């Protein structure tokens, strides 16, 4: 079973992806985490991606599609994947359809996390405070200005994917402002 989680930054996709991994034995693929691993490893790709990410912009479709294409071939993806942060453009969505179509393993559901932007900014601020209090490093793109930029990029480049999936009948909306437990219940219910 393949699932796609779509929603603005901070809407809780990663948290729900972890829960779904446990329940359904799927593999979460977070393209944000994959890019941050490239940065931590100091690869050429990581170096290129860091400046783009820190500005709140999107890494190119070619790079992201290539990254996902090779990753889903690995053994840990055999039972299915939870796509978290991919696709983020209509171009990526079409490329993913083609990829999964070839494998004969289409998408079972696309879950949209509906969220209020100002609440997301408040959540970000408390997350930054907690990270600092825990003595951990704050992400380069986790400051209010860049976060607002990411929200705008979501609206302009990622939200246009939604009508595309609506047309396929696969799109389900969940309330990203509800508690972690309630969102999780909603998702389980829609997956049947
Ligand atoms: P969030 O969901 O909180 O915005 P992510 O960790 O998913 O954070 O992504 C962080 C950054 O990584 C994005 O702002 C973007 O620069 C880059 N990125 C992640 N996934 C993609 C993607 N599919 N296409 C383009 N850029 C991406």
Confidence band of 23 (pLDDT split at 50, 70, 90): very high
Ligand 1 pocket: which of 16, 30, 31, 47 to mutate (most atoms within 8 A of CB): 31
C-alpha closest to that of 17 among 7, 32, 29: 29
Question: Which residue, by CA, sits nearest to atom 2 of ligand 1?
Answer: 9
What distance in angstroms lies between residue 125's CA and the mean position of ligand 1's atoms? Answer: 19
Question: What is the best residue among 8, 32, 39, 99 to mutate for testing ligand 1's pocket, by most ligand atoms within 8 Å of CB?
Answer: 32
Instruction: State yes or no: pLDDT of 57 exceeds 90.
Output: yes
Predicted local distance difference test score (pLDDT) of residue 46: 97
Closest-CA residue, ligand 1 atom 19, reads 32
Whether the per-residue pLDDT at 58 is higher than 90: the answer is: yes
Residue of the CA atom closest to atom 9 of ligand 1: 32
Domains plus CATH for the chain? 2-191 (3.40.50.300)
Question: What is the CA(1)–ligand 1 centre distance, in A?
Answer: 23
Q: Mean pLDDT, to the nearest integer, of 37-47?
A: 97
Give mean pLDDT, residues 56-75: 97
Picking from 29, 32, 70, the residue whose alpha carbon sits closest to that of residue 49 is 32
* 8 Å CB contact between 176 and 113: yes
pLDDT digits (tens, 9 = 90+) for 149-188: 999 999 999 999 999 999 999 999 999 999 999 999 999 9
Name all residues whose Cβ lies below 6 A of ligand 1.
9-10, 31-32, 35, 52-53, 56-59, 64, 85-86, 88, 92, 141, 150
Q: How far apart are CA 81 and CA 141, in angstroms?
A: 26
Provide the pLDDT for residue 192: 86
Encode pLDDT of 107-138 as tens digits. Answer: 999 999 999 999 999 999 999 999 999 999 99
Q: What is the pLDDT of residue 29?
A: 98
3-state secondary structure the chain: CEEEEECCCCCCHHHHHHHHHHHHCCEEEEHHHHHHHHHHHCCHHHHHHHHHHHCCCCCCHHHHHHHHHHHCCCHHHCCCEEEECCCCCHHHHHHHHHHHHHHCCCEEEEEEEECCHHHHHHHHHHHHHHHHHCCCCCCCCCCHHHHHHHHHHHHHHHCCHHHHHHCCCCEEEEECCCCHHHHHHHHHHHHC
């Amino acid at each position: 079973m393949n699932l796609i989680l779509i929603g603005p930054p901070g809407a809780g996709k990663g948290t729900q992806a972890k829960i779904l991994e446990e329940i359904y034995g799927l593999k979460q693929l977070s393209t944000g985490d994959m890019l941050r691993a490239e940065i931590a490893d100091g690869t050429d790709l990581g170096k290129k991606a860091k400046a783009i990410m820190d500005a709140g912009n999107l890494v190119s479709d070619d790079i992201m599609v290539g990254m996902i294409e090779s990753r889903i071939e690995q053994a840990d993806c055999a039972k299915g994947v939870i796509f978290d942060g991919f696709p983020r453009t209509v171009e990526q969505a079409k490329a993913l359809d083609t990829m999964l179509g070839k494998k004969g393993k289409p998408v079972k559901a696309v879950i949209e996390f509906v969220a209020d932007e100002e609440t997301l900014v408040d959540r970000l601020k408390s997350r930054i405070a907690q990270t600092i209090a825990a003595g951990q490093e704050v992400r380069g793109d986790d400051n209010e200005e860049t976060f607002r930029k990411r929200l705008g990029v979501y609206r302009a480049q990622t939200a246009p994917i939604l009508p595309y999936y609506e047309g396929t009948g696969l799109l389900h909306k969940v309330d990203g402002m509800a508690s972690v437990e309630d969102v999780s219940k909603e998702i389980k219910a829609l997956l049947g």
